[in-house]
Amino acid sequence: MKLLSKISAFLPLAVTLIWLQFLPDRVPLHYDASGNIDRWGSKWENLLLPGVVLLMGLVFFLVSKAGLKKAAGDEKALAHAESNAKVIRIVMIATGVMFTVLQAVLLYGAGREAASGATKSSVDLNRVMVILLGFLFLIMGNFMPKAKRNSTVGFRCGWSMYNDVTWQKCNRFAGLSMLCAGVGTILCGVLLSGGWAIAGMVLMLTAAIVVSLVYAAKVYRLEKGKV
């Protein structure tokens, strides 16, 4: 698992470096809301996204390492830190794969558009991104309930962080909400196009967060009432 998480952080960069060898020097780099190409530039600018993924991977690694170091000497805390580190690695793997697919689609489209001199995107990038994010939401929703109470991963707010009971209940509910948001987001990507797909994704994610916050407030009030 540790090796896979490291590989996933470098995967977008590796795919990009290989693909760039087959692209012309000047390619489309930006599109407006309607998919029209509004900026061309050097193909090497496509290294920006893989660089961001690498930075995310480094942050995830440092957070996991810091959590394990802080828990050293406390058996229960160490078990919790190891569990959370596993969740972080799974999220990193999913994120790396998602960005690799997205980057491959971007480069494929850029190559086609550069070759034909197109003025509009040959691929609906919004739909692709929304569908990929939907799958990421599904993975996050599945693993959120497995995270132990911490300040790094999981559904974190003042109410959910109150004690272990509120954390467990809130993250179980938030995980289910995120699963629903994932399914809804994928459907938005399949059924809607362009900006509508993005709007649908934002609506699904916002709804998941709002209902999770409402539930967390309720659980917190009930748990605090026991004191």
pLDDT, one tens digit per residue, over 32-77 is 877 889 999 999 999 999 999 999 888 888 878 887 787 777 777 7
Q: How high is the pLDDT of residue 173?
A: 97
Pairwise CA distance, residues 4 & 157, whole Å: 30
Predicted confidence (pLDDT) per residue in 138-163, tens digit: 999 998 888 888 777 889 999 999 99
Residue 10 has pLDDT above 70, yes or no: yes
Higher pLDDT among residues 19 and 63, named by residue: 19
- Burial-class residue 56 by CB neighbours within 10 Å (0-12, 13-18, 19+): middle
Q: How high is the pLDDT of residue 227?
A: 62
* Chain mean pLDDT for the chain: 90
Q: How high is the pLDDT of residue 54?
A: 92
Predicted confidence (pLDDT) per residue in 101-137, tens digit: 999 999 999 999 999 988 888 888 889 999 999 999 9
